[in-house]
């Protein structure tokens, strides 16, 4: 979005009542500037919102009136023909209806009341559903590949179901395509905020510019100095008494610091699936483990290795009990479910088994953690003389083979590396490929951390056994 379009968008925001001004400040031509400003954070989400002044924890930092929100109700209220057509398709989900509403408003062009907002939306996204076959295979891990394929199948099914409605309202052919539907789905998945009256959520102009911060494993408690508004809301939400979506500062911010939202606890794969990005340091990331827990009622999601390499409570409990003979489990089950070690011998056996499990998972993957690090370095220098010479030297054959496979997928030759610009399709694919490699590298780091944790635990337990009594 150019500077002129951005300025027009912010002026439109002020006209519809969006404001970051503290109470008592007179209205101005831009909806931002008092409290927040748009800035670029290359290493932390790209374009986002920064503090325009010192912000105090708990204060209101942005207010978006309900009439500015784009949701099913607000669109259908202004388009009676669309509302009548939607009523004939009661089987469609709230998300399907919102996607149709979004495409209908985009189709209206300048006649849409949200036009200044719609034209600044991204033209493409990097959600799992947007990944091509090459990028999906780059995940290497079955769980991620399966999640990608399932996500695409679900979106295709929703599109086919909703296509009849879109034809009934005479959307132009370009908006009837799966490509357009995919864009609408990705927009809704990555940008909507929760509202109590619609499960699909709402698109919130300006409010959707906040970038994401992962909640810590241990959520901080609210201190007594926080005002009543903050006790009622954390990051934000719809407030009936203000008839607006209000956002609050989760913490105090210095001027120029990026203001972030915590809108859920997600692993990196879930962040990719729903939002199209991942975090280099995500305390909520995990590796799911296929483990037969017998008659224990643990869900598969509960059996995982945490981002720090330690087994989850459920996985540790299941493994401790699985080593115990069946006829003895009842006697010690209460100890395992209390998170207690059953015995030193049992714990050492658990750590050895878990370490072997991680080693087996790593051995099945076609590239090592070290090779992935080299590949990421190469991808980040894709247009450089360094990479060009690297490809011709045939060093690090695993890395070279993957780079050549990418070039072949997009009908590019080694000679094209230094030719800019690349086709947009190839550049977008490059970004998604990089995300896939970053994800699998994070997956492998967690497994290596778990192996190290198991080794250290065993060493500690053995030293306790051998330590002479005093």
Give the confidence band of 215 by pLDDT, cuts at 50, 70, 90: confident
The C-alpha angle with vertex 193 and arms to 187 and 199, in degrees rounded to 5, equals: 90
**Quick one: pLDDT at residue 398?**
81
Does the pLDDT at position 196 exceed 90? Answer: yes
Q: How far apart are CA 437 and CA 331, in angstroms?
A: 46
Task: Give the residue with greater pLDDT, 28 vs 303.
Answer: 303
Residues 100 and 157 in one domain: yes
Q: How much is the average pLDDT of 441-469?
A: 90
Is residue 470 assigned to a domain? Answer: no
Task: Give the residue with greater pLDDT, 325 vs 263.
Answer: 325
Give the confidence band of 422 by pLDDT, cuts at 50, 70, 90: confident
Residues 76 and 197 in one domain: yes
Mean pLDDT of the chain, nearest integer: 89
Q: How much is the average pLDDT of 210-237?
A: 55
Place of tokens 């009594």: 469
Residues 218 and 170 in one domain: no
Is residue 425 assigned to a domain? Answer: yes
Is residue 121 assigned to a domain? Answer: yes
Model-wide pTM > 0.85: yes
Residues 212 and 199 in one domain: no
Residues 428 and 309 in one domain: no
Is residue 461 assigned to a domain? Answer: no
Which of 163-167, 261-265, 304-308 has the weakest average pLDDT? 261-265
Give the confidence band of 206 by pLDDT, cuts at 50, 70, 90: very high
Does the pLDDT at position 260 exceed 60? Answer: yes
Give the confidence band of 213 by pLDDT, cuts at 50, 70, 90: confident
Residue 153, number of CB atoms within 10 A of its CB: 11
Residues 89 and 130 in one domain: yes
Q: How far apart are CA 408 and CA 35, in angstroms?
A: 49
Q: How far apart are CA 279 and CA 375, in angstroms?
A: 18
Does the pLDDT at position 20 exceed 60? Answer: yes
Q: Provide the domain limits for residue 373.
A: 369-447
Give the confidence band of 26 by pLDDT, cuts at 50, 70, 90: confident
Share of the chain above pLDDT 70, in %: 91
Give the confidence band of 189 by pLDDT, cuts at 50, 70, 90: very high
Backbone angles phi, psi at 311, to 5 degrees: -70, 145
Does the pLDDT at position 264 exceed 90? Answer: no
Give the confidence band of 232 by pLDDT, cuts at 50, 70, 90: very low
Is residue 465 assigned to a domain? Answer: no
Residues 64 and 210 in one domain: yes
- Angle between helix 369-380 and helix 397-409 axes, rounded to 10 deg: 50
pLDDT tens digits for 100-117? 999 999 999 999 999 999
Domain endpoint, select from 261, 278, 297:
261
Give the confidence band of 329 by pLDDT, cuts at 50, 70, 90: confident
Residues 209 and 164 in one domain: no
Residues 297 and 335 in one domain: yes
Share of the chain above pLDDT 90, in %: 70
**Quick one: pLDDT at residue 256?**
95
Task: Give the residue with greater pLDDT, 152 vs 380.
Answer: 152
HEC per residue, 229-277: HHHHCCCEEEECCCCEEEEECCCCECCCCECEECCCCCCHHHHHHHCCC
Is residue 454 assigned to a domain? Answer: no
70: Cβ contacts below 8 Å, ≥ 6 apart: 101, 102, 105, 114, 117, 202, 203, 204, 205
**Quick one: pLDDT at residue 262?**
84
Q: How much is the average pLDDT of 217-230?
A: 39
**Quick one: pLDDT at residue 385?**
66
DSSP labels for 123-175? S---SGGG--HHHHHTT-SHHHHHHHHHHHHHHHHHHHHHHHHHHHTT--GGG
Which of 81-85, 306-310, 376-380 has the weakest average pLDDT? 376-380
**Quick one: pLDDT at residue 327?**
84
Residues 184 and 329 in one domain: no
Q: How much is the average pLDDT of 188-211?
A: 94
CATH at residue 222: 2.170.270.10
Domain endpoint, select from 345, 361, 377:
361
Instruction: Find the DSSP H helices in 47-114.
Output: 72-78, 80-87, 94-108
pLDDT tens digits for 32-45? 999 999 998 887 77
Query: What residues does 212 pair with on adjacent strands?
Result: 261
**Quick one: pLDDT at residue 389?**
64
Q: How much is the average pLDDT of 278-304?
A: 86
Residues 88 and 191 in one domain: yes
Tokens of 375: 């590949």
Residues 209 and 61 in one domain: yes
Is residue 267 assigned to a domain? Answer: no
Domain endpoint, select from 330, 361, 392:
361
Backbone angles phi, psi at 214, to 5 degrees: -75, 130
Does the pLDDT at position 447 exceed 70? Answer: yes
Tokens of 70: 């784009």
86: Cβ contacts below 8 Å, ≥ 6 apart: 76, 92, 97, 100, 165
Number of structural domains (the chain) is 4
**Quick one: pLDDT at residue 298?**
84
Most confident range (mean pLDDT) of 302-316, 325-339, 397-411, 453-467 is 302-316
Task: Give the residue with greater pLDDT, 469 vs 351.
Answer: 351
Is residue 266 assigned to a domain? Answer: no
Q: How much is the average pLDDT of 160-180?
A: 97
């Amino acid at each position: 979005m150019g500077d002129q379009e951005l300025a027009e968008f912010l002026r439109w925001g002020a006209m519809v009542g969006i404001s970051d001004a503290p109470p008592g400040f007179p209205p101005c031509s831009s909806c931002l500037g008092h409290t927040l400003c748009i800035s670029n954070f290359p290493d932390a989400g790209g374009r986002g919102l920064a503090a325009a002044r010192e912000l105090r924890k708990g204060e209101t930092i942005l207010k978006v009136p309900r009439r500015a929100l784009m949701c099913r109700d607000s669109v259908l209220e202004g388009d009676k023909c669309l509302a009548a057509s939607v009523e004939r398709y009661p089987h469609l989900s709230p998300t399907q209806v919102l996607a149709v509403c979004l495409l209908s408003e985009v189709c209206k062009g300048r006649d849409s009341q949200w036009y200044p907002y719609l034209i600044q939306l991204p033209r493409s996204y990097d959600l799992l559903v947007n990944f091509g076959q090459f990028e999906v295979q780059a995940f290497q891990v079955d769980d991620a590949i399966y999640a990608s394929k399932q996500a695409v199948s679900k979106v295709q099914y929703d599109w086919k179901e909703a296509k009849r409605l879109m034809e009934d309202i005479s959307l132009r052919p370009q908006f009837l395509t799966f490509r357009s539907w995919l864009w609408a789905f990705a927009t809704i998945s990555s940008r909507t905020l929760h509202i109590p009256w619609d499960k699909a959520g709402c698109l919130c102009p300006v409010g959707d510019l906040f970038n994401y911060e992962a909640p810590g494993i241990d959520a901080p408690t609210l201190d007594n100095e926080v005002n009543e508004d903050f006790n009622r809301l954390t990051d934000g939400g719809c407030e009936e008494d203000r008839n607006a979506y209000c956002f609050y500062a989760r913490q105090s911010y210095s001027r120029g610091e990026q203001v972030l939202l915590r809108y859920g606890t997600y692993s990196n794969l879930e962040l990719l699936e729903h939002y199209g990005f991942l975090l280099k340091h995500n305390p909520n990331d995990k590796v799911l483990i296929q483990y037969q827990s017998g008659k224990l009622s643990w869900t598969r999601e509960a059996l995982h290795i945490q981002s720090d390499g330690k087994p989850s409570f459920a996985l540790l409990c299941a493994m401790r009990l699985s080593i115990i003979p069946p006829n003895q489990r009842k006697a010690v089950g209460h100890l395992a479910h209390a998170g207690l070690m059953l015995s030193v011998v049992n714990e050492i056996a658990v750590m050895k088994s878990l370490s072997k499990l991680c080693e087996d998972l790593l051995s099945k993957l076609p590239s090592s953690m070290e090779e992935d690090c080299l590949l990421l370095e190469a991808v980040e220098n894709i247009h450089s003389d360094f990479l060009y010479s690297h490809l011709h030297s045939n060093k690090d054959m695993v890395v070279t083979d993957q780079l050549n496979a990418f070039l072949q997928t997009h009908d590019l030759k080694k000679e094209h590396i230094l030719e800019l610009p690349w086709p947009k399709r190839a550049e977008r694919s490059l970004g998604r490929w990089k995300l896939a490699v970053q994800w699998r590298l994070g997956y492998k780091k967690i497994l290596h951390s778990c192996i190290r944790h198991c080794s250290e635990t065993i060493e500690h337990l053995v030293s306790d056994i051998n330590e002479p009594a005093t």
